């Protein structure tokens, strides 16, 4: 028996499992739908649980039958979230930014978007806002259950469409920072929702640009500068009525020095919520490899953010961002003083420069059959420097964070 998590249920879609209460009484059958956010909230709040089945007919109880641990791990939850985001975006994706006229105005694009969204008909999700918030709650679940493993997953996991992993990574980073700053759960949900949907107006274009090596054309650049407003327009048409969600999207490309877009806001006019999303957006884009470059090491990104503080966003917020992630965030590759190459696995609250790591390559450059735990506070295992991700070694995230992969 185990608790059901928000991320495991997609509103309006068939359940993938049978549900039982805490006394193991059968409640909902596999294939039935949870149709509303209120119903889902009630299920989770009252402690409904999933019971794994050993096969056979009916809904008989099983003894000592535990579900695969992967379903409870951050990696399993994150995979559920990816699937939900991918499915949701496929219903509202609009081919834009690739075949634009040479001259385009915001009013013309806005009108075109409204007409296109209205014409989605059956493909337009009736409960879009609820479904996005459902994914956000799943992200909150996984960050609460194991923040270090979750950070490791976003630094190591890039085998997916950019328009799926980029919003999820932004949401994870935003959740960790806003939790550290003491934001309420309601505020955090709105900011996470903004992280997931900030680029919904340019999904196709974003995939195209992620894979290309050439500079952007003028029309593409114009489209990029319009996308916060266009995304907000799409969300309005899709029934989103959350003001904080909308404002965060509208401002997430503004900059503290007034050099951002679309409105050139400066200083205190640039909300803290949007600044957090801006930092998450920049960081996520840089840790993700592109067609024209490898992923940038986390330590180097954090250094660049620190040097640009008060230009990009408020300097104190940058320092908070760095404090939350650590100088060497989980999932980073590092070289140790003894010559081993390791992956950071656990941060230390009071010692950001000496995290726990797992060595994966020995001093002679030979991959280790089993990762070895090292405390970098000990002199022989001190971090010499951050290094690029090793592209040859096979990474088993489950073993690095002591989770069991599903069979």
What are 212-262's pLDDT values in tens digits?
A: 777 777 777 877 888 899 899 889 888 899 999 999 999 999 999 999 998
Lowest mean pLDDT among 43-47, 149-153, 200-204, 347-351: 43-47
Residues 147 and 280 in one domain: yes
**Could you tell me if 283 and 146 lie in one domain?**
yes
Q: Provide the pLDDT for residue 222.
A: 78
Segment holding 97, helix H or strand E: none
Residue with the bigger pLDDT between 326 and 207: it is 326
110 lies in the same domain as 152: yes
Q: Which of 42, 239, 171, 351 is nearest to 28 (CA)?
A: 42
298-307 and 272-287 helices, crossing angle to 10° = 140
Question: Which residue is listed with tokens 């196709």?
Answer: 204
How would residue 4 be classed by pLDDT, with cut points 50, 70 and 90?
confident
- Examine the pLDDT at 384 and tell me if it is beyond 80: yes
If asked whether residues 147 and 40 sit together in one domain, one would say no
Same domain, 345 and 374: yes
More confident residue, 188 or 71: 188
Model pLDDT, residue 61: 34
Q: How many angstroms separate the CA atoms of 308 and 302, rounded?
A: 10
- The answer as to whether 371 is a domain residue is yes
Strands (E) across 17-154 are located at 19-20, 26-28, 49-50
Average of pLDDT values for 391-396? Answer: 84
Counting Cβ atoms within 10 Å, is residue 101 exposed (0-12), middle (13-18) or buried (19+)? Answer: exposed
302 in the same domain as 356:
no
Best mean pLDDT range from 21-30, 64-73, 196-205: 196-205
Residue 206 lies in a domain: yes
Q: Are strands 333-336 and 19-20 parallel, antiparallel or unpaired?
A: unpaired
pLDDT band at 45 (very low <50, low <70, confident <90, very high): low
Is the pLDDT at 406 greater than 60? The verdict is no
Q: 176 is written with which tokens? A: 């960790």
State whether 30 and 159 are in the same domain. Answer: no
Q: Looking at the structure, do residues 39 and 95 belong to the same domain, yes or no?
A: no
Q: Are strands 383-386 and 333-336 parallel, antiparallel or unpaired?
A: antiparallel
Do residues 201 and 228 lie in contact, with contact meaning Cβ atoms separated by under 8 Å?
no
Whether 367 shows a pLDDT value over 80: the answer reads yes
Q: How confident is the model at residue 44 (pLDDT cuts 50, 70, 90)?
A: low
Find the helix or strand (DSSP H, E) in which 309 lies: none
- Please report whether residue 63 resides in a domain: no
Task: Write down the residue that tokens 């930092």 correspond to.
Answer: 279
Q: Based on the domain organization, do 45 and 114 belong to the same domain?
A: no
- d(Cα 146, Cα 150) in Å, to the nearest integer? 6
Q: How far is 221 from 226, CA to CA, in rounded Å?
A: 9
Residue 215 lies in a domain: yes
Taking the CA atoms of 364, 335, 355 and 274 in sequence, report the sign of the dihedral they define.
negative
Q: What percent of the chain has pLDDT over 90?
A: 44
Domain count for the chain, please give it.
3
pLDDT for the residue 168? 95
The predicted-structure confidence for 276-303, as pLDDT tens digits, reads as follows 999 999 999 999 887 778 889 999 999 9
Indicate the burial class of 327 (C-beta count within 10 angstroms; 0-12, 13-18, 19 or more).
buried
Rounded to the nearest integer, the mean pLDDT of the chain is: 83
The 10s digit of each residue's pLDDT in 337-349 is 999 999 999 999 8
Residues 92, 207 within the same domain: yes
Predicted confidence at residue 35, as pLDDT, reads 72
Exposed/middle/buried for 138, CB within 10 Å: 0-12, 13-18, 19+? buried
Q: Which residues form the domain of 358?
A: 333-400
**Average pLDDT estimate for 204-211:** 77
Return d(Cα 154, Cα 176) in angstroms, integer.
13
Check residue 102 and give its pLDDT: 58
For residue 213, give the CATH number of its domain: 1.10.3210.10
pLDDT tens per residue across span 71-127: 467 888 888 888 889 888 887 766 554 455 556 666 776 677 677 766 765 566 778
Does one domain contain both 165 and 197? yes
Q: Let me know if residue 69 belongs to a domain.
A: no
Length of the chain: 407
Nearest to 197 by CA among 256, 123, 266, 252: 252
Same domain, 318 and 340: no
36 has pLDDT over 80: no
Q: Which of 216, 208, 259, 232 is nearest to 95 (CA)?
A: 208
- Does any domain span residue 223? yes
């Amino acid at each position: 028996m185990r608790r059901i998590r928000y991320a495991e249920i997609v509103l309006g879609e068939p359940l993938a499992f049978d549900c039982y209460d805490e006394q193991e009484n059968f409640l909902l059958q596999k294939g039935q739908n949870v149709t509303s956010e209120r119903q889902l909230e009630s299920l989770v709040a009252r402690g409904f649980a999933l019971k794994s089945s050993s096969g056979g007919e009916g809904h008989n109880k099983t003894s000592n039958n535990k579900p695969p641990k992967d379903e409870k791990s951050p990696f399993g939850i994150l995979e559920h979230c990816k699937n939900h985001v991918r499915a949701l975006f496929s219903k509202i994706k609009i081919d834009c930014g690739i075949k634009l006229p040479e001259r385009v105005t915001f009013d013309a694009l806005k009108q075109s978007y409204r007409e296109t969204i209205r014409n989605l008909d059956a493909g337009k999700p009736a409960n879009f806002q609820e479904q996005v918030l459902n994914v956000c709650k799943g992200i909150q679940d996984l960050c609460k259950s194991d923040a270090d493993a979750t950070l490791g997953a976003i630094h190591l996991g890039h085998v997916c469409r950019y328009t799926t992993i980029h919003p999820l990574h932004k949401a994870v980073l935003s959740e960790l920072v806003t939790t550290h700053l003491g934001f309420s759960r309601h505020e955090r949900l709105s900011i996470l929702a903004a992280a997931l949907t900030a680029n919904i107006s340019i999904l196709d274009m974003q995939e195209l640009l992620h894979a290309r090596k050439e500079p952007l054309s003028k029309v593409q650049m114009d489209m990029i500068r319009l996308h916060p407003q266009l995304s907000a327009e799409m969300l309005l048409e899709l029934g989103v009525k959350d003001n904080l969600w909308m404002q965060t999207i509208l401002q997430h490309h503004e900059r503290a020095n007034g050099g951002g877009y679309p409105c050139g806001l400066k200083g205190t006019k640039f909300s803290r919520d949007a600044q957090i999303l801006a930092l998450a957006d920049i960081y996520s884009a840089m840790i993700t490899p592109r067609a024209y470059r490898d992923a940038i090491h986390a330590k180097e990104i954090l250094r660049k953010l620190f040097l640009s503080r008060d230009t990009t966003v408020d300097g104190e917020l940058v320092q908070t961002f760095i404090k939350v992630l650590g100088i060497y965030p989980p999932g980073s590759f590092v070289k140790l003083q003894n010559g081993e190459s390791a992956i950071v696995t656990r941060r230390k609250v009071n010692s950001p420069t000496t995290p726990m790591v797992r060595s994966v390559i020995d001093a002679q450059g030979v991959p280790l059959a089993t990762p070895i735990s090292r405390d970098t506070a000990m002199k022989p295992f001190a971090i010499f420097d951050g290094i690029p991700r090793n592209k040859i070694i096979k990474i088993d995230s489950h073993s690095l964070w002591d989770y069991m992969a599903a069979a």
